[in-house]
Structure 1
Amino acid sequence: MTDAVLVDDLGFSHPDAILPALERVSLSIPTGEAVALLGPSGAGKTTLLTLLDGRLRGWRGRVSVLDAPFDPDRAPPLARRSDTGFIFQEFALVERSTVLRNVLNGRLGRMPPLRALLGRPSGRDLDIAQAALADCGIADLADRRADSVSGGQRQRVAIARCLAQEPQLILADEPVSNLDPTRAAEVLDLLTGAARARSATVIFSSHQPELACRFADRIIGMRYGRIVFDTPTRDLTEDATTELYRDADVLTGAKLQVVR
């Protein structure tokens, strides 16, 4: 099995930051795996996802995504950008556009430049977007404005947009942090299930060990920009998660539980 992501001795510091955002991070993620990045705020999860998406400059070390080595000073080639899809915590939808138009935005990198510039999708683009809407259970919302649907539905729109992109790697930054537990489980089930159905790799960040354990094959725990454990989900212990969040704001006196 080939690796979708290879990272070796990665380091990165934000300007004027006292501590590095990432320090001596090394990992490999095989194609088709579902991986959860677990850890408190400030652990480096978002920074790592942003780097893997090709949007971060000035890092140190070696990074390869989908067999393409990254350059710390240059953006990845435009032709490769559509192979990686990113799902943002705050959805990043065009509020006044319809749900279908938002999902079609995921096709822009696959369109010829003039067609993309004019916003004229082909029949195939429409078919792919409508299939993504159906896969996400929101086909009936296609003509609704994005700002008129619920938070859970908006997250499904964001996932459908990503799926319409036909990515080989899906990165999701806290994709369910704004949802109640039932909706959060539904969205993670949708996200990881859709990735597996497409043989895509998915990496999502989370503050919620119980949800991560339900939907990821593997858990990577991060704290202070470092990886503190990297383990198959079945081997994750309650003690490891409790230690990961020790003294972090996310702990409110209750013990974190690993739910199988």
Structure 2
Amino acid sequence: MTSSNFRIGGEIDVRRIGFGAMRLPTEAGAAREASVAVARRAVELGVTLIDTAYMYGWGANEELLAEALHPYPDDLLIATKVAIERPAPGEEAQVNGRPEFLREQVEQALRRLRVERIGLLQMHRLDPKVPLADQLGTLREFQLAGKIGHVGLSEVTVDELDEARRTVDVASVQNRYSLLDREHEAVLDACEEAGIAFLPWRPVHPAASTATAGIAAVAAELDATPAQIALAWLLDRSPVVLPIPGTASLDHLAENVAAAELRLSADQRERLDRITPAPAG
């Protein structure tokens, strides 16, 4: 039977379906009030892993979660990400892995989240202009100082993961992956072998919006939605997979959380496995 929990870094016990906060509006007014309600409802429904990042509103998303949920429940892990620099007007955001920039970002994230320690701090992207050992060594310094619990990576290859693990214990990897997008299959396999949490981003789309006949058939058999089937497949794919579907809708939030209760039969799993993923790129 599929386990409903996973211990990130062998230490932080979370339920395997988390919540991605990226889509929550942060502007003042009714939209922000609705976002606060969604974040609080996620916790009420048993979500114990929430993913955010500095890039999501340039700190506003982290501040929203603090407003909604601080003081945090003891079993709640809010994971955030650093290493993206806010662009000037009209410019594109850039990766910045310089140690001085990462130190500033970590300190700011601690302040915005109103915590003294971030349980899981992820590199949003690796900076090809900065030696990897310098980037991750900076986060290791924060670990030793007690300000970071565990370190995660995003959008990495198997080789980058191997290199990173020579500098720091990697607790998680966040790559794009779903039933219809399996480009990073090898990275997931490497994470499973090493016991590293794999947080697929965009775990539902495009399965929910462009469901194939095969997905629709399994959904009908289980009285579920295509999005729920996509999440159930991910949970069944590997015990290290922790999907973090994002939504600003209370109904979709409840739907996503309920997907943890679905159980695919061997036949249903085989049929879904045979669905041809979208071409990479």
TM-score interval, normalised by the smaller of the two chains: 0.3 to 0.5
Q: Which has the higher strand share?
A: 1
RCO higher in 1 or 2 (8 Å CA, sep ≥ 6)?
A: 1
Query: TM-score, normalized by length of structure 1?
Result: 0.43
Query: TM-score, normalized by length of structure 2?
Result: 0.40
